Structure 1
Amino acid sequence: MSDPRPVPQYGEYATPEEVAALRGTAAPGSPLLPQPSPSPAVVSLRGSTLRRLDRPVTIALIAFGVLNLVQFAGVLLDFEGFLEVATKGTSAEPIDFTDAARIGGVVLFVVSLALVLASAAIAVLMLRQGRIAFWVPLVGGALSVLAWGVVLVAIVLQTPGALPPAGA
């Protein structure tokens, strides 16, 4: 049984009835089968709830990262002095932090600046594409915390007298 109609050309559209016949389902609006309605959870995820909150949350997280970087810029660029002040009155007061602390502070500042700029750029690009982006500044913040830990361990390992002797 051949169809007497010509084959559609590129750009031509089939009617909803033709699409339903090809799929083997009832046509939309047909009294034979009721149209399925999506579940409320799918509607809220697809529609407004998550997407509506994504943009302000992402912008707030980016702003938080920028404010933290501005707040800690002075500390990071004079990290040796900061560590001297921070250890005053503790058992670590006699430790003389060397150039490792100064270099470590500059490294932390550069890494934090790069993470803030990269996460902001990626998040803005994702927001413009209509994709969920709040996780990007969160990952940038987690990487920043990881960098702080690595740099502080490196500073302690390179500072004479920061660790007790092996036999003690």
Structure 2
Amino acid sequence: MALEIEKKYLLAVEPAVLIKEGVLSAHKEQLIEQTYLAIDETQELRVRRIQELGNGEVTYTHTFKNGNGLVREEVEYEITAGIYEQMVNAFGFLPLTKKRITAVWNGRVVEIDIYDQLELSVVEVEFSSVDEANAFQAPDWFGEDISSQKQYSNKTVWKQLQGEKWQR
């Protein structure tokens, strides 16, 4: 199982402004639909439909994550469109949708997620070690560090989107 070491921030500036000013160099844009199949306090199982906006290519993934906060275990692999549709349709949940901009800032890859169903934009940065993550100094435009705030996790936002349907 691979480790994901990641920090997440509430984006304080519009991505288009950052790209126009040359602060960010955008490399790709994707539309992502994600649906959770199982969630508990520390684990999640999800599927995604990912459309590359540059060429229209669509891929599907199945992901298992274990843990909370800065460091989590992650296993992700591609699945077929048919398997994705079966999983999503079996539960009838509404997918969480977002636009992802993968960009380079200061020689580092960052991912900006702009959510469709709520007013939320975040920037995520992955690291190769906990020491590197702890030493990282974010610029002001990254905004507040929300890495350990569960209310901003994708699974929490997704559950809220489901409303009463999730409670059943």
Indicate the TM-score class for this superposition, using the shorter chain for normalisation.
under 0.3
Which of these two proteins has the greater Rg computed from alpha carbons?
Answer: 1
Give the structure with the higher percent helix.
1
TM-score by length of 2: 0.25
TM-score by length of 1: 0.25
Higher relative contact order (CA 8 A, sep 6+): 2
